[in-house]
Amino acid sequence: MVGMNPEILLLQALPPAIEKQMEALYVVHRLHQQGDPAAYVSQHCGLIRAVVTGGGLGIKNAMIDALPGLEAITLFGVGTDAVDLDYARERGVMVSNTPDVLTDDVADLALGLMIATLRRMGEAERYVRSGAWGQSPPPGLARRVSGKQVGIVGLGRVGKAIARRLQGFECAIRYFGPRRYDDVAYEYVADLVELARVSDVLVLSAAGDRAQGIIDATVLEALGPDGVLINVARGKVVDEAALLAALQSGSLGGAGLDVFADEPNVPAALLDMDQVVLQPHRGSATHETRQAMGELVLANLHAFFAGHSLPTRVV
């Protein structure tokens, strides 16, 4: 019966098993299914105390304002850059995310993109699928993965997981970020351009809210015509126009991209580039991890409505 359970606003679809559990505990208002979201929010605004949204989608300040009873925002994702955390803090709204549970999957995808880009796997697969094998020359030689000089931009949870995997490929690892870590043996490079200059591959795993546009034309030029850029962070970490220009001119060797500046809109020029491997923001897209993320969202909701501390509160 409506009103007996706490009411939450869901801004995007979650795994069916997680939504089923939500429905058993809460009245779930699915904003993403509404033809007129603004009118729906206006109709139900006084009933909503918690919002569930994706890390990439987040929530706009205007919607926070439209929900006077809002007390908690639970993110299905680790990134918090799509939420104005300062504004949420001012409004007294708690924010939680789902760290740790997606670390391994994102790191795995970063390695997959690196291997696929260096070994020209996308281009080779398209060649086989087209039926051209035996009819025309195959793609040219690829580049070895093992032993590469790899720079990691952002040595947080995901960055460290990427580095551990790279050790199995006997790669030399350096990193750039806001601070040096004393608990790792990798070389810290304080200048991002210098890190790009000494790297064969530059892997981006930095938090988007602190790194917007840091990969610019100067960094890409330093990475060079044989260099490869891998991005599993956020699209806005890269100056996308500069990236396109570098790839088109040949001043950058290739790129493996899981994220883009204006998702789901991917620059048309990237679609025709054989030296680029593209993914639709799938860093955490495994059954196991999405289930674990959903369970952590549920844990945060349960704690909130029970009056307890949120397990993974960021604000």
Could you list the pLDDT tens digit for every one of the 315 residues in the chain? Answer: 444 799 999 999 999 999 999 999 999 999 999 999 999 999 998 999 999 999 999 999 999 999 999 999 999 999 999 999 999 999 999 999 999 999 999 999 999 999 999 999 999 999 999 999 999 999 999 999 999 999 999 999 999 999 999 999 999 999 999 999 999 999 999 999 999 999 999 999 998 877 899 999 999 999 999 999 999 999 999 999 999 999 999 999 999 999 999 999 999 999 999 999 999 999 999 999 999 999 999 999 999 999 999 999 999
pLDDT, tens only, 236-266: 999 999 999 999 999 999 999 999 999 999 9
Q: What CATH number does the domain containing 39 carry?
A: 3.40.50.720
Overall domain count for the chain: 2
143, 281, 302, 313: which one is catalytic?
Answer: 281
125, 263, 288, 308: which one is catalytic?
Answer: 263
The answer to whether residues 82 and 190 belong to one domain is no
312 located within any domain: no
283 located within any domain: no
The answer to whether residues 139 and 226 belong to one domain is yes
314 located within any domain: no
Is 263 labeled as catalytic in the residue annotation? yes
Quick one: tokens of 196?
A: 């790009």
Is 282 labeled as catalytic in the residue annotation? no
Tokens 């304002």, located at residue: 65
The answer to whether residues 129 and 235 belong to one domain is yes
253 located within any domain: yes
Backbone phi, psi, residue 153, to 5°: -100, 105
Is 29 labeled as catalytic in the residue annotation? no
29, 120, 174, 234: which one is catalytic?
Answer: 234
Q: How far apart are CA 256 and CA 115, in angstroms?
A: 9
Domain range for 32 is 7-99+288-306
DSSP-H helix ranges across the chain: 16-25, 37-44, 61-66, 85-91, 103-118, 121-129, 157-167, 192-197, 217-223, 240-249, 268-271, 287-306
Calculate the CA 165 to chain-centre distance.
18
